A = this chain, B = another copy of it.
């Protein structure tokens, strides 16, 4: 019988590309991963890995096996969820990943609701950029995560993960009040020469600002890199630049800031390992999140 732990390593290799990365993700040494994958190949009787240069790549047989591994792991996840549902007391640790805005705007109310409905559950929050969510969910470092995607930065689908929608927001262009008034509403293009405030490079929000401007036909001149939208708005208010902010980040704008709704939207979803959608803790958290965003 094929060893499921080894199949898990193979699946992780399919996502991460190198044995070293798999080892780091699952807190093993590369040596252990290499040995286990070699054992899997011996079991399989077919080459699963191809040594290309100093890396390894999956053979077609390896890719095919990964698909089976996904299915098996999904079903095991489902079984675990059902067992958890069968337990009368819902307790234990629930590791939640969330992007900063959600941590501030949604999670407090959601965790309060969760504590009321399921006092035995022990939520642990990690601030994680959506770009890093998928690997950490797969690796089991997180159980649930809040992620978002922008019109210009669609999330690629992940066979190992599943998600349900939570929130659908407008994006706003934040500009400082000008003394003489602007007459027309601000547009992306009208800000092409203004200094911009974006998030830290490498984050999804940073990519969103860059691509939105590029789609409007220009490359923004970014002066500040700031992740917290409240801070961003404060900077906009004092004329340090313009910025794109989502509805959640613009809930309580300071004076001196004009918010112009754009047609761009941001969709927030709750992601989890495929098969874990029936887990009572996941169900409970989703319910709490929904109640928190009304």
Known contacts A4-B1, A4-B4, A72-B72: A45-B79 contact under CB 8 Å: no
Chain A residues in the interface with B (C-beta under 8 A): 1-2, 4-5, 7-8, 44-46, 60-61, 64-65, 68-69, 71-73, 75-76, 78-80, 82-84, 86-87, 140
> How many chain copies does the complex carry?
2
Distance in Å: Cβ of A105 to nearest Cβ of chain B: 34
Q: Are A2 and B80 interface neighbours, CB within 8 A?
A: yes
Q: Report how far A82 CA is from B7 CA in the complex, Å.
A: 14
Q: Is the interface of A mostly helix, strand, loop or mixed?
A: helix
**Closest partner residue, chain B, to A140 (CB atom):** B1
Shortest CB distance A27–B (Å): 14
Most buried by B among A73, A79, A84: A79
For the complex, give the distance between the alpha carbons of A5 and B71 in Å: 17
Among B65, B71, B83, the residue within 8 A (CB) of A65 is B83
A4 close to B76 (CB less than 8 A) = yes
B72-A76 in contact (CB<8A)? yes
Residue of B nearest to A5 (CB): B1
